Structure 1
Amino acid sequence: MALSDDQLDRYARHIILREIGGAGQQKLLRSKILIVGAGGLGSPLALYLAAAGVGTLGIIDDDAVDLSNLQRQIAHGTADIGASKVESAAQSVARLNPDVTVIAHKERLTADNAARIIAGYDLVTDGTDNSETRFLLNDACYFGKKPLVSGAILQFDGQITTFKAYEEGANPCYRCLFPVPPPPDVAQTCGEAGVLGALAGVVGSVQAVEAVKELLSIGEGLSGRLLLYDALAAEFRKIKVPRDPNCPLCGNSPSITGLS
């Protein structure tokens, strides 16, 4: 289907890019991305992916907006306190771009629903802040053969990478970096350790860029590389992450064969 006059105007700065053009914009409009978490990272992800014209955004979160969220979760406002985060984020997306359909999953991602939910999307973005969900999401995307654009923030530090371990080659998964979840008394969240609010915007925006690149197969992705951002030092650096042949999920002799 050809782009409408309004769409030609709305996405003009994309269309004049040789790497995107009209065909690329049409592909974005046909694409479906799942955003896991409607908080600090999920907010800029939802807004920038909606602005980019990704046609369908699924947003999954079972939480409600709290006053303490507003320092960094820019998809929500003061008037949204007490409302469902997915519904608040959906309203923000609707105000920004009527081309975008939002599927609101007002629930927590679990081993029982992960495969079913992820199956309906082309790509998944991780905006969560707890280890349990990160490991579950990694495993579900591996078995479902979905690219996973992962981001994490804490205090003044952020990191972004893309996992595509289901592809042939040396692509690692999350378990190649962290074989097992940290003990509950060791793992820290932003609520416990604090976080610079604008850091969520930096990392979430980079995730949105990487997601668009993956959908359009342009540029060089972050699979096999970890992008680190130190806000206090104003420094980005990139490190290689090899596949672990002993990984329990994607290694040569995996012990994890399904979600549990």
Structure 2
Amino acid sequence: MKQNPEKLERYARQCVMPEIGEAGQERLAESRVLVVGAGGLGSPAAFYLAAAGVGTIGIADGDVVACSNLQRQILHTTERIGMPKTASAQKTLSALNPHVHVVTHPFYLNEQNILSVIQSYDFVIDATDRMENKLLINDACVLAKKPFVHAGVLRAGGQIMTYVPEQGPCFRCIFEDMPEEKLPGCAQVGVLGMTAGIAGSAQAMEAVKYLLGTGELLVGKLLTFDGFSLQVRILPIPHRAPNCRVCSSNADIKSLAWYGKYRKSEAHHEVR
């Protein structure tokens, strides 16, 4: 980067920070982050990762841009309605920062392909909006020993937590398994775009902190926020659940076969 004046100027406000510096900026440039979902959470997360100079950003999504997405999915524009979200995301991110390599995975992740996709990335961002998909990402990352950050939003509130292998509880430790009754989603109860913006930005921050090895990650903690009151709480969850189905010594989930059976029985799409 020392030989590139444009990069020095682009990242000047980061490089001046002692937690980053030019060495940290080079580390970001060599890093690879996968964003699963190019929607409300994935949009701000990917935007800020690209702006920060993360060298390779993977975008996994099998959906196309719809008009109803545009209230919160800021990677996309009106003229791109009907375009695959991965293609739209690539256009936006490349226009923002041509130094970033955007890898598109224009399909839904499932039990058959997720492990092969995540293996080449240093960090995974769960930007999906369905419980079964969050469990799949969690289980895949735990089995593959990949760090990831979860976020979920609804109406004006959200939650974020980070998993690092062998350092704290996973998503299943807290939320266990699929509830018996189907949970309402954003289409039923609504969501403010700014809510997704807050959570997605926090996910990007977690990814950058992990890649740089600086700051305090949300490992062993669940951050919740209410956008209407701007109250933030951090709930300590310091220990893994002793009977967690995937990360404990008593784990019974050794593969992702459960997702395929669930998907077929419930006629659900893959991760989206």
TM-score interval (norm. to shorter): over 0.9
Residue in structure 1 matched with residue 154 of structure 2 by the alignment:
154
Q: How far did 1:252 drift?
A: 2.3
Q: How far did 1:251 drift?
A: 1.4
1:206 aligns to what SS in structure 2?
helix
CA distance in 1: counterparts of 2:209 and 2:117, whole angstroms: 23
Match for residue 259 of structure 1 among 253, 256, 261:
256
Note the 1:55-94 alignment, pairs <5 A: 55-94=55-94
How many residues are treated as equivalent by the alignment? 256
Residue in structure 1 matched with residue 219 of structure 2 by the alignment:
223
1:75 aligns to what SS in structure 2?
coil
10-19 or 173-182, larger mean C-alpha shift: 173-182
Residue in structure 1 matched with residue 125 of structure 2 by the alignment:
125
Distance 1:206 1:94, change over 3 A: same
Q: Letter of the 2:101 partner, please give it.
A: T
Conservation of the 8 A alpha-carbon contact between 1:3 and 1:26: no
CA distance in 2: counterparts of 1:240 and 1:15, whole angstroms: 32
CA deviations over 1:65-97 (Å, ceiling 9, x no partner): 000000000000101101000110110001100
* TM-score normalized with structure 2 length: 0.92
Residue in structure 2 matched with residue 99 of structure 1 by the alignment:
99
2:255 aligns to what SS in structure 1?
coil
CA distance in 1: counterparts of 2:175 and 2:240, whole angstroms: 12
CA distance in 2: counterparts of 1:82 and 1:3, whole angstroms: 41
1:34 aligns to what SS in structure 2?
strand
Q: How far did 1:188 drift?
A: 1.8
CA distance in 1: counterparts of 2:113 and 2:2, whole angstroms: 36
Q: How far did 1:3 drift?
A: 5.2
In the alignment, does 2:230 pair up with 1:234? yes
Moved >2 Å (runs of 4+): none
What is the aligned-residue RMSD (CA, Å)? 1.1
Which sections of structure 1, spanning at least 5 residues, go unmatched? Answer: none
CA deviations over 1:113-157 (Å, ceiling 9, x no partner): 011000010000010001111111001111111111111100111
CA distance in 2: counterparts of 1:188 and 1:4, whole angstroms: 50
1:143 aligns to what SS in structure 2?
helix
CA distance in 1: counterparts of 2:186 and 2:4, whole angstroms: 43
Match for residue 200 of structure 2 among 204, 213, 225:
204
Conservation of the 8 A alpha-carbon contact between 2:60 and 2:108: yes
CA distance in 2: counterparts of 1:30 and 1:179, whole angstroms: 35
CA distance in 2: counterparts of 1:150 and 1:250, whole angstroms: 16
Residue in structure 2 matched with residue 174 of structure 1 by the alignment:
171
CA deviations over 1:20-71 (Å, ceiling 9, x no partner): 0000000000000000000000000111000000000000000000000000
